[in-house]
Chain A
Amino acid sequence: MKTYLPNYFKLIGILFVVIAIIFSFIGEIDVHSESFIKSFTEGSNFARGLAGKSEITHPDPNINPNLTKETYDMYIMISLFFSISGFVLYLFSKEKIDDEYIQHIRLKSIFQSLLASWLIYAVVKLISSNYQLDGIYILQLQLIIYVIVFRHNKNVEFSEEEIALED
Chain B
Amino acid sequence: MKNYLKVERAKKDITQATLAEKIGVSRQTINAIEKGKFIPSTLLALKMARYFETAVGDIFELEEGE
Minimum CB–CB distance for A132 against chain B, Å: 41
A104 x B38 contact (CB < 8 A): yes
Q: Does B54 contact A (CB under 8 A)?
A: no
Which of B24, B31, B38, B41 is close to A165, meaning CB atoms less than 8 Å apart? B31
Q: In the complex, what residues of A have CB within 8 A of residue B17's CB?
A: 167
Q: B-contacting residues of A (Cβ < 8 Å)?
A: 97, 99-102, 104, 157-158, 161, 164-165, 167
Chain B contact-residue range equals 10 to 19
Number of A-B contacts (CB under 8 A): 35
* Closest chain A residue, CB of each to CB of B38: A101
The interface bits of chain B over 1-28 (1 if a CB of A lies within 8 angstroms of the residue's CB, else 0) are 0000000000000011100000011111
In the complex, A45→B60 CA distance in Å?
A: 62
Q: In the complex, what residues of A have CB within 8 A of residue B24's CB?
A: 99
A99 x B31 contact (CB < 8 A): no
Known contacts A99-B24, A99-B26; A167/B15 CB under 8 A = yes
Which of B15, B26, B40, B41 is close to A102, meaning CB atoms less than 8 Å apart? B26
In the complex, A97→B38 CA distance in Å?
A: 17
9 contacts between A and B (CB under 8 A): A99-B25, A99-B26, A99-B29, A100-B29, A100-B44, A101-B29, A102-B26, A104-B38, A165-B31
